[in-house]
Amino acid sequence: MGSLSSPPPPLQFLVIGAGSRGNAYARAVEAATAGSIAAVAETDPFKRQEFGKRYIWGREGQPADHQSFAGWEEWVEWEIRRRRSAAGQAGDIQPRYLPITGVFICTLDESHAPIIYAIAPLNLHILCEKPLALSLSDSLSISTALSGYPSKVVSIGHVLRYSPHNILLRKLLTSDQVIGEVVSIEHTEPVGWWHFAHSYVRGNWRRSTADGVGSLLTKSCHDIDFILWLLCSPSSLTGDKPHLPSTISSTGAITHFRRARKPKAATPTTTNCLSCPAEPDCIYSAKKIYRDRWLRKEQDTGWPLKIVVPEIEDIVAVKGWDAAEERLMQKLAEDYDKTTTSDDTIASRSWYGRCVYESDNDVVDDQTVTIEWDEDPVPGHELGRGPKRALFHMTYPTQSQCERRGRIYGTLGEITYDSHTITVYAFATGEVAVHDIPKQAPEVEKSHGGGDWGLAAAFVRAVEHVEEGNMSVAQAQRELVGCDLKEIILSHAVVFAAEEARREKKVVNWAEWWSKNGTDG
């Protein structure tokens, strides 16, 4: 009788960044996969401790030395020492610790590229929150860095691909072809009036990159990816060869969040809501949004209050709601003077009590992107690769908050969709088919309609199959993750091309632009 092979070690994941995205993926891994969160790297001690208690060492436990790290650099240094010890080389770490299988990168956008460069030699599976990087050159350099080591699974936080709603929508368009060939699509991302102010005027994503790339990348790159996934990516409709765009154009501006829109009742020197005479009548009052709505009315210590005061849940539990309100108002009162505070200090953090008309934001709040495709037939897919166009609209002044909606026009019918329902109208019969997406658990539903959970589950399944030898990396990328690094970079490249078109008020010829920019020089 032959000996049985030992089972592979359990899937152990490191989460770098214990903010809202790190928590979202950790919850999904814990609840819906065979993997486990084994370690966390986070610079903020409170966030690190809360994350660890919830997912790693438990409410009553304390972290072991291989579970908690004050930043990704500390973990990389520890992991190098661990590997040396395990290999019998000089090292001070006992080899009993199970190795990390993969990494979730959930830090601020500008750190994604440096982290990937640093962990590339460790040859781990990687899921990086979007965007992959803040420039095309860094995106291409990441591909080069990873290509120098044995292939591993790579995924990106393009969560729209993974919600049950959007998976069904793509099936209806591609394999079912319910409206024939797509002629055009209109897709809208309604950010939400106060949400935009929270994240893109007062919050972390209020400033564009050195290359002038802003909210289209940080907020809506997965909307551009969603459109490309429907119309460009390999499918039963388009075949194995991507149907690449022909031209890309874009327009956009800061329409509202600027000094010229400041209420007349506000004094010229007022920069903070707590001291502004116009505050009682201003819809962007930080007191109204954070204190009156979320703290007093909703009594919800999650997002966005947890972003403003990370420890607010503990304050409520230990000291009560009055103490939480006192701490919140302290945070909202924090402000800066542009004449005496360095720009580096201003840019280094968020200012949630800052007047939205006096902030240091420079990202557009209303933008359109138009993508055109020429006819590009391939054998067997002549009817799936005709000329078409897509119009994407990202805008801030909406009641809906990120509840995307759209309309797709085809040769045989028309589809309308929102975040919950897909309606198909057939020209030939006049029949209307309504596809209602079954409700999921509230925690799953609020995570991009289940997209966060679907993305994490697909990544972990791909890692599992590769580690067990059931699939090659290429097969796992295509069949489980749904794309590879080449497609991830192509999707980002379209965003960078659109931003160039907006800044320079031009139409980008995709083939020429990609020929010029699409190599890592």
- pLDDT averages per 10-residue partition of the chain, 521 residues: 59 95 92 92 95 93 91 95 79 71 96 97 97 95 93 95 94 94 96 97 93 91 96 83 95 97 93 96 97 96 94 95 98 96 95 98 97 92 87 97 96 95 98 87 60 91 95 96 95 97 97 90 45
Which domain, by its residues, includes 333? 259-347
Whether residues 240 and 370 fall in one domain: yes
Whether residues 174 and 230 fall in one domain: yes
Which residues partner with 433 through β-bridges? 424
Residue 510: both structure tokens together? 């995709």
Q: Where are the beta strands (DSSP E) in 326-469?
A: 366-373, 388-395, 405-410, 413-417, 421-426, 432-436
| CB of 164 closer than 8 Å to CB of 450 | yes
The stretches of 208-281 forming alpha helices (DSSP H) are 215-218, 221-231
CATH of the domain at 399: 3.30.360.10
Q: Which among 307, 324, 347 is the end of a domain?
A: 347
Whether residues 372 and 292 fall in one domain: no
Number of H helices, E strands in the chain: 19, 15
Whether residues 459 and 489 fall in one domain: yes
**Residue 357 forms part of a structural domain:** no
Rg for the chain, CA atoms, rounded: 24
Of 318, 404, 9, 363, the C-alpha closest to 214 is: 363
Residue 202: both structure tokens together? 């007062």
Total domain count for the chain? Answer: 3
Grouping H, G, I as helix, E, B as strand and the rest as coil, residue 327 is helix
Query: Cβ contacts of residue 95 below 8 Å, gap of 6+?
Result: 82, 85, 86
**Residue 475 forms part of a structural domain:** yes
Whether residues 251 and 263 fall in one domain: no
Q: What is the pLDDT of residue 3?
A: 45
| CB of 450 closer than 8 Å to CB of 23 | no
Widest Cα–Cα separation across the chain: 87
**Residue 6 forms part of a structural domain:** no
**Residue 356 forms part of a structural domain:** no
The stretches of 237-348 forming alpha helices (DSSP H) are 286, 305-308, 312-319, 321-333, 343-347
Whether residues 225 and 336 fall in one domain: no
**Residue 49 forms part of a structural domain:** yes
Q: Which residue has the tokens 């200090």?
A: 345
Whether residues 371 and 463 fall in one domain: yes
Give the amino acid at 204: N
| CB of 142 closer than 8 Å to CB of 452 | no
Whether residues 490 and 400 fall in one domain: yes
Q: What is the pLDDT of residue 85?
A: 81
Distance CA 498, CA 372 (A): 12
Q: What is the pLDDT of residue 7?
A: 66
CATH of the domain at 18: 3.40.50.720
Distance CA 178, CA 282 (A): 47
Q: Which among 112, 130, 152 is the end of a domain?
A: 152
Whether residues 264 and 221 fall in one domain: no
CA 119 and chain centroid, separation: 20
Whether residues 131 and 171 fall in one domain: no
**Residue 381 forms part of a structural domain:** yes
Whether residues 495 and 370 fall in one domain: yes
Work out whether the CA dihedral 112, 115, 119, 125 comes out positive or negative.
Answer: negative
Beta-sheet strand order (sheet of 405-410): 432-436, 421-426, 413-417, 405-410, 182-190, 388-395, 366-373, 247-253, 508-509
Whether residues 425 and 475 fall in one domain: yes
The reported pTM is 0.93
Could you check whether the bond before residue 304 is cis, i.e. omega within 30 degrees of 0? yes
Distance CA 49, CA 56 (A): 10
